[in-house]
């Protein structure tokens, strides 16, 4: 079972996790008979948390004060999901067919590939440091393990000689709380009314019934491509809503299930605006990336690009859709 199939199953709220081969997992020579059965729903929800933490860490370079390495360690994932380390490893292996360590390694490699593809001027040593390696050689071993023999082959998007210079504004975004859902999907599916109802509408309903003073500050999305394969049309899509008015004391417990939450810290952004059908966003991204790599902007390479939707397909014709692309800055 591929990581794409794994994520698709987990992000389907109706999915019941079962062993892919009706197999029994053994650790050493001791069989765990409990894993011969369908994984219980309470364990399914806990696995949601573990997988959500892995994907969130890959998208945002960690969770809270923990960087990617700390946030995706077996001990951190076990603590977040409420499982023992052994149970987490066993159930994860039964469902995915791969070890937790190997799965995390693949997501870490995708995170590194994102930086190489978007910012080809960044050195291998800088990327290695960004993803937690103390020595640059670590990045070579990681990428080879995940099918990339030549790291420089990833540096294909930038277009350093491109004459494109899109207009943009700089804007300060204050601290918000992001509630989100993740979907492994083809991006075309994200523009349907059904997708909107199953993601943003459910998030808003979830928050409004639990945090009575919460106010919507913006509807956003993060398209996390499969950067190693250079697939710009599918990947992990994070549908989210930025909220204000929620006190930190209300956020002392993790969420069990398909909806996640993270703090979006205050930061300055370069904001690019696209008007028109979502079909044009792929080429718009390429133009934004070319503009960035031909500018003197100080980009925060750890911050993913954030799409902010000023309207939606349910309220405006395709040619009138307005999407802002927010690119994090370090200054």
For the cut 60, the answer to whether the pLDDT of residue 30 exceeds it is: no
Return mean pLDDT, the chain: 83
- The domain that holds 242 is classified in CATH as 3.20.80.10
3-state secondary structure of 211: coil
Q: For residue 223, which of 288, 168, 170, 150 has the smallest C-alpha distance? A: 288
Neighbour tally for 128: CB within 10 Å? 19
pTM: 0.82
Residues 115-132, mean pLDDT to the nearest whole number: 87
**pLDDT above 50: residue 57:** yes
How far is CA 301 from each of CA 5, 88, 237, rounded to the nearest angstrom? 28, 31, 19
**Residue 256: pLDDT band with limits 50, 70, 90:** low
180 is in which domain, residue-wise? 169-328
Q: pLDDT tens for residues 172-217?
A: 999 999 999 988 889 888 888 899 999 999 999 999 999 999 999 9
Separation of first and last alpha carbons in the chain: 43
Does pLDDT of 102 surpass 80? yes
| Res. 63 pLDDT band, cuts 50 70 90 | confident
Residue 153 lies in a domain: no
**What is the rounded CA–CA span in Å between residue 127 and residue 118?**
12
Instruction: Dump pLDDT digits (tens) for 7-26.
Output: 544 444 433 333 333 333 33
| CA–CA separation, 259 and 182 (whole Å) | 8
pLDDT score of 156: 64
Predicted pLDDT at 161: 54
Give domain status of residue 138, yes or no.
no
| pLDDT at res. 148 | 92
Residue 30 is assigned to a structural domain of this protein? no
| Residue 144 within any structural domain of the chain | no
pLDDT of residue 164: 77
Q: Is the pLDDT of residue 269 over 80?
A: yes
81-105 mean pLDDT: 91
3-state secondary structure 2-18: CHHHHHHHHCCCCCCCC
38 Cβ contact partners less than 8 Å away, ≥ 6 residues apart:
16, 17, 18, 19
Band of pLDDT at residue 225, cut at 50, 70 and 90: confident
What's the sign of the alpha-carbon dihedral 308, 310, 315, 318? negative
Q: Which residue has the higher pLDDT, 3 or 39?
A: 39
Flag whether 129 is in a domain. Answer: no
Q: Are 182 and 11 within 8 A, CB to CB?
A: yes
The whole-number average pLDDT for the span 52-66 is 81
Q: Where is average pLDDT lowest: 141-145, 202-206, 224-228, 263-267?
A: 224-228
The distance of Cα 254 from the centroid of its chain, to the nearest Å, equals: 18
Instruction: Give residue 316's pLDDT.
Output: 92
The 10s digit of each residue's pLDDT in 278-322 is 999 999 999 999 899 889 999 998 899 999 999 998 889 999 999
Q: Say how many domains are in the chain.
A: 1
Q: Considering the domain boundaries, does residue 34 fall inside one?
A: no
pLDDT of residue 20: 36
- Residue 68 domain flag: no
State residue 169's pLDDT score.
97
């Amino acid at each position: 079972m591929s990581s794409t199939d794994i994520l698709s199953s987990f992000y389907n709220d109706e999915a019941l996790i079962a062993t892919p081969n009706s197999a029994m997992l053994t650790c050493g020579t001791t069989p765990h008979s409990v894993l011969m059965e369908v994984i219980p729903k309470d364990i399914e929800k806990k696995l949601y948390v573990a997988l959500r933490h892995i994907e969130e860490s890959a998208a945002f370079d960690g969770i809270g004060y923990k960087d990617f390495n700390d946030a995706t360690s077996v001990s951190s994932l076990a603590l977040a999901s409420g499982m023992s380390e052994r149970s987490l490893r066993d159930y994860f292996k039964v469902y995915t067919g791969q070890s937790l360590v190997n799965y995390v390694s693949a997501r870490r490699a995708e995170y590194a590939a994102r930086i190489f593809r978007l910012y080809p001027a960044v050195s291998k040593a800088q990327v290695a440091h960004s993803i937690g390696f103390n020595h640059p050689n670590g990045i070579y071993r990681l990428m080879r393990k995940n099918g990339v023999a030549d790291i420089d082959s990833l540096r294909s998007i930038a277009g350093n000689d491109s004459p494109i210079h899109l207009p943009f504004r700089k804007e300060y975004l204050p601290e918000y709380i992001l509630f989100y859902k993740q979907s492994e999907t083809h991006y075309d599916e994200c523009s349907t009314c059904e997708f909107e109802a199953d993601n943003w509408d459910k998030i808003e309903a979830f928050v409004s019934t639990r945090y009575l003073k919460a106010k919507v500050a913006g509807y956003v999305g993060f398209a996390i491509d499969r950067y190693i394969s250079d697939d710009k049309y599918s990947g992990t899509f994070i549908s989210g809503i930025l909220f204000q008015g929620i006190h930190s004391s209300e956020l002392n417990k993790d969420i069990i299930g398909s909806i996640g939450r993270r703090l979006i810290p205050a930061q300055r952004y370069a904001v690019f605006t696209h008007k028109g059908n979502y079909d044009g966003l792929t080429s718009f991204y390429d133009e934004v990336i070319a503009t960035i790599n031909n500018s003197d902007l100080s980009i925060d390479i750890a911050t993913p690009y954030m799409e902010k939707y000023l309207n939606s397909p349910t309220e405006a014709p395709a040619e009138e859709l307005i999407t802002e692309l927010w690119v994090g800055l370090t200054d």
